[in-house]
Amino acid sequence: MPYYRLKDLIKAIRACKTAADERAVIQKESAAIRTSFKEENNDARHSNVAKLLYIHMLGYPAHFGQIECLKLVASNRFADKRLGYLGIMLLLDENQEVLTLVTNSLKNDMNHSNMYIVGLALCTLGNISSPEMARDLCAEVEKLLGSSNVYIRKKAALCAMRIIRKVPELQENFLSKAKSLLSDRNHGVLLTATTLITEMCHRNPDTLVTFRKAVPLLVRHLKSLVSAGFSPEHDVTGVTDPFLQVKILRLMRILGKGDAEASEAMNDILAQVATNTESSKNVGNSILYETVLTIMEIQSESGLRVLAINILGKFLTNRDNNIRYVALTTLNKTVSIDTNAVQRHRNIILDCLRDGDISIRRRALELSFALINETNVRVLTRELLAFLEVADNEFKQGMTTKICLAADRFAPNKRWHIDTVLRVLKLAGNYVREEILSNFIRLIAQTKDLNAYTVQKLYAALKADISQESLTLASVWVIGEYGDILIKGGSFEEEELVKEVTEPDVVDLFESILAGPYANQVTREYVLTALMKLTSRFTSTPVIQRIQAILERYNTSIEVEIQQRAIEYTNLFKFDNIRPAVLERIPIPESKEETSRPTDDFSSGGGGGGGSLLDLDGDSIATDVKKVNASENSQNTVDILATIFGSGPSDTTDNLTPSRSNPKDDIMSLFNTGPTTTTSPNLIENTPSANPLDDLITTSLPSTNENLLGLSSIKQIAPSQNTQTVNPLDSLMDLGSTKLSTAISPPTETNAPEQFVAYNKNGFKIGLSPFKDQNNPNILNINVTFHNVGVGSDVQNLLFQAAVPKTQRLQMQPPSSTTIAPGAIVTQTIRVANPQRVNVRLKLRIVYDTSAGGKVDDIAEFSGFPQDFW
């Protein structure tokens, strides 16, 4: 049974105990309403639509009432018409077909003698007009803009605004009317006219010129509003038309922006509004706020700007949270325009960090970071560190990052820089981004003269607290790297207490971390590696034996990574002649170009020094894969490994090479296979921080930049995969250079072919391995390898052509295939007869299709063979 009146329906819905009950009531009622609509029950229509609007508000479907609304609009009863239009506004939007049926009713009603009916029509058109309606009814609205009735004029102005939003070219139709509306005496009309003109200026900058002429008029309006006494007709909560003032100020802002003359004309009145407006209530502050925005955006006098910033400063001390919030938001926007003026309010801003409202704390924090510069970095950082201690956890990671970046950029000296980051790690070591940590480690490695100081500090900090992950990681790494310096320094003072440090102490500490509740895989990896490094830094044999015992304990770790490491390290003890070299201190990494923006660093991949180390990794791993799988040629690999590990004396190479069937080789292959099983691209990007060993055995730090990293390192690994004898030593020497592929080592075995990269574009790479023909020194054989590194799909219909200068002759053999799957290699041999023994210059043409549908036709030149091959 349907409820008959809206009131009854509402009561029935209120009486529902559950959502299901409510749904049932509404479904039943909706069905009844539908039936009633079908029966064309004219008397019930009003009530039904009213109920539908209620149902609509509750979030139930009510679209079936759209047509009924149109019927109500056509009614002669005012109440029906009003409800009908309301229904249209609520149930329809401009995209609905039904809307076209409204146009005619609107047109009729806009010409109605009853001003309220005209008002309803304008309201409806202004709310839901589609472009078609806008065109159809533009003339009516234009006419109504000139109506003698205030009520109609003010609504028509906003209607016009909707029309030009929908059909911008209709703007001209309203231009002259809008101008005349600006001198209207009625405040309602002025308000809507200002809104309309603001919109026009916004949409079409050409109109700015027209309306700049109206600036004096606007100034007059504003002046009379500011100086007017109480008038019941314009009063809104005790202030004369605050909304009109706000609108005029906003229009002034648009008109004054970038125009000296208009700005000049506004200076006085802006100063007047800024000084005379009552600031004890929110209403007044809303006007002041708008004034500040206008002052900051137009070409105002500097005195006025100071006044504006001071208003915001005063806002900051206001007890109303909303006003403080608005002030901080605005200061955040203006801080880049006028930093010095904002600096004056630094202390209040810092006070806001302790505000009870998290929104305010967040804004204040943003602003504090924006204020840091060379001169105040010490003070502000101290404040921010104090805040970091008590900050909400959700702020911490952002804060640690920003504090460290600010320290990077403005640090007065290295010691302060190290102290600051150390403090950050102590306070919020569990909220530090990985790159911040590696930046810190790089900083330490670069600051050689403070190594002793830093290692002692970190040792003391770690001893005091092993719960802060980043602090643990940094300390463990640094102690591992500079353990000898730590021990050599002996006891040291920390906060007026003399601290003893001996080799067993350090191992105790490390053991406590391993056993502690905060250890995770990453910390274990770090600790094991650091312990291993300490075996070459420490001198006491019992301590070294203890370390060995600890490492052996992890030979059965269920974490594959840890187990692998432990086994590799314990095996390394069998090679005491190379162990120290393997565990050498890592070379001092070069600075990245943009330490201030770590995220950028990631995207720029191997651009800097850090990247090269990564390249090195990629190389060794990739080469290993190939070597181990493809050949028995293990000396070569050993050599490479030894050189990476040792990163130094090449005589280790000599030691190793002769022993072909020696167990060393096997162990070394073990080392090789190590990395190959985990060629995860997830290498630590900022490898300067870590020991080569560390990198070789890829760590799997949880990296937020995994994808980026992955990409960059894949790219770097790939090119080297067929570079058969790239010597990582060279790359190490060549830190910072990105041209890894051209870093070539002299071959360790005479017949090992060297490879040159002749072409590397779009993921397609061509390598040339030349070797002299054994029978004829005038002939150079070149093995060409085509490598689909990252084309992303199969390479098909490969056509490779080469040409040589006239003095030389060329012979080409067919390629092993004309299709290359991703990651695969195709080879082809060419012979160059070079009787005059001059430089071999090759012109190459590469044509191929990708299975994804692309076609590549490219030309390259190569003439980089060393003279030996001529």
Partner 1 sequence: MLRFFLFINKQGQTRFSRYYNVQLQPEERVLMEADISRKCLKRGDSQCSIFEFREYKLAFRRYASLFFVIGFDEEENHLAILELVHAYVEILNAYFDNVCELDIMFNIEKVHVILEEMVLNGRIVETNKNNVLAPVLEMDKTSK
Give me the least distance between CB of 23 and partner 1, in Å please.
12
CA 554 to chain centre: 39
Give me the least distance between CB of 333 and partner 1, in Å please.
10
- Our CB check for partner 1 shows the closer of 284 and 649 to be 284
Give me the least distance between CB of 192 and partner 1, in Å please.
6
CB atoms within 10 A of CB 531: 28
Give me the least distance between CB of 296 and partner 1, in Å please.
14
Instruction: Give, as one character, the DSSP assignment of residue 752.
Output: P
Give me the least distance between CB of 301 and partner 1, in Å please.
23
Give me the least distance between CB of 286 and partner 1, in Å please.
3
Give me the least distance between CB of 532 and partner 1, in Å please.
50
CA 813 to chain centre: 51
Distance, in Å, from the CA atom of 137 to the CA atom of 507, rounded to the nearest integer, reads 86
Please tell me the number of Cα atoms within 13 Å of 242 on its side-chain side. Answer: 17
At 440 the three-state DSSP class reads helix
Distance, in Å, from the CA atom of 337 to the CA atom of 318, rounded to the nearest integer, reads 24
Amino acid identity, position 87: G
Give me the least distance between CB of 199 and partner 1, in Å please.
9
Distance, in Å, from the CA atom of 700 to the CA atom of 834, rounded to the nearest integer, reads 51
- Our CB check for partner 1 shows the closer of 163 and 684 to be 163
At 292, list the tokens.
Answer: 């500040």
Give me the least distance between CB of 389 and partner 1, in Å please.
21
At 410, list the tokens.
Answer: 């403005």
Give me the least distance between CB of 503 and partner 1, in Å please.
55
In degrees, rounded to 5, the angle at the alpha carbon of residue 446 between the alpha carbons of residues 398 and 537 is 110
| Sign, CA torsion 116/121/124/126 | negative
Element (H, E) at 71: helix 66-73
- Our CB check for partner 1 shows the closer of 56 and 409 to be 56
- Our CB check for partner 1 shows the closer of 231 and 677 to be 231
- Our CB check for partner 1 shows the closer of 320 and 666 to be 320
Distance, in Å, from the CA atom of 743 to the CA atom of 691, rounded to the nearest integer, reads 22
Instruction: Name residue, tokens 């609905």.
Output: 96
Distance, in Å, from the CA atom of 825 to the CA atom of 827, rounded to the nearest integer, reads 7
- Our CB check for partner 1 shows the closer of 123 and 847 to be 123
The secondary structure of 655-686 as a DSSP string is HHTT-TTSHHHHHHHHHHHHHHHT--S---TT
Distance, in Å, from the CA atom of 813 to the CA atom of 192, rounded to the nearest integer, reads 82
Give me the least distance between CB of 438 and partner 1, in Å please.
33
> Residues 116, 122, 128, 130: what is their CA dihedral angle, to the nearest 10 degrees?
150
Q: Which of 271, 268, 302 is nearest to 288 (CA)?
A: 271
- Our CB check for partner 1 shows the closer of 289 and 602 to be 289
At 758 the three-state DSSP class reads strand
Sorted by sequence, the CB contacts under 8 Å of residue 31 that are 6+ apart come out as none
- Our CB check for partner 1 shows the closer of 95 and 774 to be 95
CB environment 71-99: b (16+ within 10 A), e (fewer): ebbebeeeebbbbbbbbbbbbbeeebeeb
Give me the least distance between CB of 127 and partner 1, in Å please.
5
At 21, list the tokens.
Answer: 């009950």
Give me the least distance between CB of 40 and partner 1, in Å please.
23
Q: Which of 203, 47, 73, 80 is nearest to 128 (CA)?
A: 73
Distance, in Å, from the CA atom of 207 to the CA atom of 581, rounded to the nearest integer, reads 76
Give me the least distance between CB of 295 and partner 1, in Å please.
14
- Our CB check for partner 1 shows the closer of 202 and 213 to be 202
Amino acid identity, position 545: Q
- Our CB check for partner 1 shows the closer of 358 and 733 to be 358
At 582, list the tokens.
Answer: 């393997």
Give me the least distance between CB of 273 and partner 1, in Å please.
14
Q: How far is CA 155 from CA 5, 110, 120, 159, 191, in A?
A: 33, 12, 9, 6, 10
- With beta carbons less than 8 A apart as the criterion, state whether 856 and 850 touch: yes
Distance, in Å, from the CA atom of 15 to the CA atom of 46, rounded to the nearest integer, reads 24
Instruction: Name residue, tokens 């312990």.
Output: 531
- Our CB check for partner 1 shows the closer of 250 and 843 to be 250
- Our CB check for partner 1 shows the closer of 77 and 855 to be 77
Q: How far is CA 700 from CA 448, 637, 654, in A?
A: 28, 24, 33
Give me the least distance between CB of 187 and partner 1, in Å please.
8
Distance, in Å, from the CA atom of 764 to the CA atom of 714, rounded to the nearest integer, reads 14
Distance, in Å, from the CA atom of 860 to the CA atom of 144, rounded to the nearest integer, reads 73
- Our CB check for partner 1 shows the closer of 26 and 461 to be 26
Give me the least distance between CB of 214 and partner 1, in Å please.
19
Please tell me the number of Cα atoms within 13 Å of 208 on its side-chain side. Answer: 15
